[in-house]
Amino acid sequence: MGSGSSVNVNYKYSLQKSENAFKAAVLIQRWYRRHVARLEMRRRCTWRIFQSIEYACEQDQIKLHNFFSYLVDHFTPSSSKERDFISRMFISGESFKEAELEKYCDYESMEVPDSYTGPRLSFPLLPDQATALLEAFKQKQQLHPRYVLNLLHETRKHLKQLPNISHVSTCYSEEVTVCGDLHGQLDDLFLIFYKNGLPSPSKSYVFNGDFVDRGKQSLEILIILFTFLLIYPNEVHLNRGNHEDHMVNLRYGFTKEVMQKYKVHGKKILKMIQNVFCWLPLATLIDQKVLIIHGGISDTTDLDVLEKIQRNKFISVLRGKKRKDSNRNVEIQEINRESKTEADPAEKEAAPSLFPQPRPAPAPSMSNRQEFSRWVRQTVQEQIEWCRRLVDISESEEEELTYSSVVSLTDLDGPCRTREEDWKQVLDILWSDPMPQEGCRANTVRGGGCYFGPDVTQKILEKHNLQFLIRSHECKQEGYEFCHSRKVLTIFSASNYYEIGSNRGAYVKLGPDLVPHFVQYQANKTAHTLTMTQRISRVEESAFRALREKLFAHTSALISAFKAYDKDNTGRITLSNWATAVESVLRLGLPWRMLRPQLVRSTVDGMLEYKSWLDDLAMEQRSQEHIQSSLLEVIYRNRSNLETIFRIIDRDHSGLISFEEFHQTWKLFSSHMNIELTDDGINDLVRSIDFNKDGNIDFNEFLEAFRLVKQSQ
């Protein structure tokens, strides 16, 4: 009996112990799942912050260039100096004729000194030279400008022979590797080559645009890709991305990078790169079944149309329309009407009938000096405009134009809508993003391109007998992502894009069966040593720092929004009203109630003292720059736009603008910035901000001018 009782007790004890262990395991599992869920929630919030700020910046870029287009359309120069300035700033210099470009970028006259120890290139290029180039860049060496210009010249010559849509076959190589955005991150390219092998007759690559900007080694990436393109023209294929655009480069760092690395010949290199970019193919087809484009498609995308577009005409895709359609149609109607009128044969020989010489209006009496002066100015402007048009027509046959250029014979060869439709085709494939909903709508988040749904994808797949699309353009946490029932694949190759640990890079390999195989990586060694919690915390800290800067930059607008909810002027609002007000100002589409604990540290009875909260934000930023808070807010909000404006004015990319350029710029902007400045006032301003008295204005002095003007309002 005793023995049986003892066994029974032991059994009950063991059973209870097992139950406790089971309960403990369940508790641990629940805790772990909650922990992972919280981490995932933090990661998603962080991701949304980064993407919202990034896309808002791109939207600002497009708004800025829409603003410039508006200025060009509506600003009437009052003098020949102003006319020359506008022409130089927005129209001329964007493109060269063939002979002019080669003369301007003449590399043969450059001598390479004996002291130069970097890599040397001779054409035609050989694989050993590409390998030497890779090693040189790993050692932080720089390629001599003669070789850079020579390489760009040969690349341009090769690209001009290519169609708009490249065709790749898996029959001639074991597989095709597709890489997404690199954005100047050379370590990612090195890692891809280390893991996957260098381009070769048996190793084909497609690089899907956005090689430059943001990262610090964009030029090195271009040099490497162009080198392999020339060595293996049948195995290396490059698509154009939305950042292969000189107007975008002004804002996102590539222009600045080139000028810092090549202070003497940087302008020539940039001009040549600008011309190379517009010759990059727009898409690639693998086995006629897989379409690779940088951004996406729209409900009007047509590969047959895309194949016929003169892609080199789109030097900058951002500059879509030269002027308002109504003005354009009126002008063309007038031109067509005038060209039909009969003219004297002698006059026809003297000038093309397309732009007959304007006949001046009858001169008013000289007794009214003001009226007579106005007549003289109008007559001279008409004559200058007529001469300018004649010059443009005589050069339009070979000239590589943008949509900001004047109307030429090319515009009149067919319906006016044709060129705009061509521009939209290019804009959509470079700037668009997929969405889960059906249909196609304007991409208001980026400000360019469209959002396309699964029905739009299915339509183009069926029309052109395709299996699926590969695109890039969006950073993904794992480096790749499927959508639209696995019919659209996004591939992104720049790891740690937002911050160390923020995302993996990836590339995809396609064999004859066209089944995608992915390779993921982290190019930064530090990212490998961080735990998941450490990685998320680090990225989260960076995201909220950027978000606080964004909030601080809109202090004035936030105060107005908060006061709308503070009817009694108590200085306090509810947290719900805080979230609504912040979204109404920033329009980032973020879950502010979830983000609130990271942004609002202290409340009283569930109410926020918003002035105190904004003061705390100001203290964070002021600790970095000792500037008056209100002025610092203006600089934070406008710095990117101001820097882009400065670089547009600074045509030679010297980092300096002349007094005359500054004067004309402020006169141009004054009416659109609600600032009234006389000529004397502008002259006083320019002298006051030229601190070093060198007769030029650098970027910091340019910012100071903006501060002074805002301060005087």
Tell me which residues are annotated as active site. 243
For residue 488, what are the β-bridge partners? 469, 483
Return the SS3 of 14.
helix
For residue 327, give every residue at least 6 positions away whose Cβ sits within 8 Å of its Cβ, in sequence order, or none: 73
Angle made by CA atoms 420, 641, 402, in degrees to the nearest 5: 25
DSSP string, 89-113: IIITTS---HHHHHHHT--TT----
- Identify whether 124 is preceded by a cis peptide bond (ω within 30 of 0): yes
Contact of 487 with 469, CB cutoff 8 Å:
yes
Cα radius of gyration (the chain): 30
Q: What is the rounded CA–CA span in Å between residue 128 and residue 134?
A: 10
Contact of 540 with 41, CB cutoff 8 Å:
no
Angle made by CA atoms 361, 362, 368, in degrees to the nearest 5: 110
Q: What is the rounded CA–CA span in Å between residue 57 and residue 640?
A: 8
- 468-471 and 290-292 as β-strands: parallel, antiparallel, unpaired? parallel
Q: What is the rounded CA–CA span in Å between residue 391 and residue 342?
A: 22
DSSP string, 414-462: S-HHHHHHHHHHHHHHHH-EE-SSSSEEE-TTTSSSEEE-HHHHHHHHH
Q: What is the rounded CA–CA span in Å between residue 112 and residue 247?
A: 31
Q: What is the rounded CA–CA span in Å between residue 521 and residue 305?
A: 37
For residue 518, what are the β-bridge partners? 508
| Phi, psi of 452, deg, nearest 5 | -120, 140
For 691-712, b where at least 16 C-beta lie within 10 A, e where not — what string?
eeeeebbbbebbbbbbbebbee
Q: What is the rounded CA–CA span in Å between residue 713 and residue 708?
A: 9
Of the candidates 108, 129, 127, 109, which has an alpha carbon nearest to the alpha carbon of residue 118? 129
Task: Quickly count: other Cβ atoms within 10 Å of residue 207's Cβ.
Answer: 29
Scan for tokens 């708009």, then name that residue: 164
Q: How many residues are listed for the chain in this entry?
A: 713
Which DSSP category does 309 fall into?
S
Of the candidates 244, 583, 259, which has an alpha carbon nearest to the alpha carbon of residue 430? 244
Distances (CA, A) of 588 to 57, 288, 390: 11, 39, 48
Task: Quickly count: other Cβ atoms within 10 Å of residue 49's Cβ.
Answer: 24
Alpha-carbon dihedral sign for residues 518, 524, 529, 533 = negative
Q: What is the rounded CA–CA span in Å between residue 195 and residue 430?
A: 28
Q: Is 23 exposed, middle or buried (0-12, 13-18, 19+ CB in 10 A)?
A: exposed
Contact of 71 with 672, CB cutoff 8 Å:
yes
For residue 508, what are the β-bridge partners? 178, 518
